[in-house]
Amino acid sequence: MTNDTEIAIINAARHVFSKHGYKRANMSLISEQCGFSRVTVHKYLANKEDAFRQSIQKIVEDSLLACKPTIEAYEQGQPCWETIACLLEEWRKPSFKDVIDPLVLHELEYYGQEIAPDLFKRAYNDIDNLLEYVLSDSEKQGCINLSRLNLTTKQLAQLIVSSISGIRHRIDMDDSKIERQNLIQIFAQATLVQHQ
């Protein structure tokens, strides 16, 4: 069971990693950031690697929680592709959102893949599953048609997530939202239901 002290320490660790990157972060900086002694910090975080893993774990949990209102909006009638655009935006928000320096962000992503590949895989599985749910349900309702794409809803969900990830890594943050919207528009057109 997570208590307030543990939450404060993990949030402080996340802030330190966001500001300093993985290499420059250390337990003393985390202690300073949260205002607890290093002894207290070490009760909850074994070392820097553990602090980083727990920070990523919290991001994964926050990402899934952030998507819950969008799924509820979909179930209340929000259109498929609007829902998918919102899910992709909400899923991405809880990451190391305080990172200003793109080099620090790339460093955090690199070390994240090294230290916590299972958590990254879980995060991608989470968003894949959410998109698959929306696509599958929309197809059953006749709102979209995947026949021209010759893809299953699972394959399309994975393709969307992979494409969005690629955009995020290749394009400036300011331009990535526009490109994400363009990509969603392409998929929306490709799955348009043809009325005869």
Residue 137 in any domain: the answer is yes
Question: Would you state the pLDDT for residue 1?
Answer: 45
- Inter-CA distances, 26 with 22, 54, 114, Å: 8, 14, 18
Question: Would you state the pLDDT for residue 168?
Answer: 63
What pLDDT digit, counting tens, does each position of 35-81 carry? 999 999 999 999 999 999 999 999 999 999 999 999 999 999 999 99
- Residue 71's domain comprises 56-190
| Average per-residue pLDDT for the chain | 90
Residue 8 in any domain: the answer is no
Residue 123 in any domain: the answer is yes
**Taking the CA of residue 30 as centre, how many other CA atoms within 13 Å lie in the half-sphere pointing to its CB?**
33
Give the pTM: 0.87
Extract the tokens encoding 7. 């939450």
Of 148, 102, 156, 109, which is closest to residue 129 (Cα–Cα)?
156
Domain tally, the chain: 1
Of 35, 36, 29, which is closest to residue 13 (Cα–Cα)?
29
Task: Write the DSSP assignment of 116-166 as a string of letters.
Answer: -HHHHHHHHHHHHHHHHHHHHHHHHTTS---TTTT--HHHHHHHHHHHHHH
Question: Would you state the pLDDT for residue 32?
Answer: 97
Do 81 and 188 contact (CB within 8 A), yes or no? yes
Question: Would you state the pLDDT for residue 96?
Answer: 77
Residue 5 in any domain: the answer is no
pLDDT averages per 10-residue partition of the chain, 196 residues: 86 95 96 96 97 95 94 97 94 80 88 94 95 97 93 95 76 68 92 74
Question: Would you state the pLDDT for residue 146?
Answer: 93
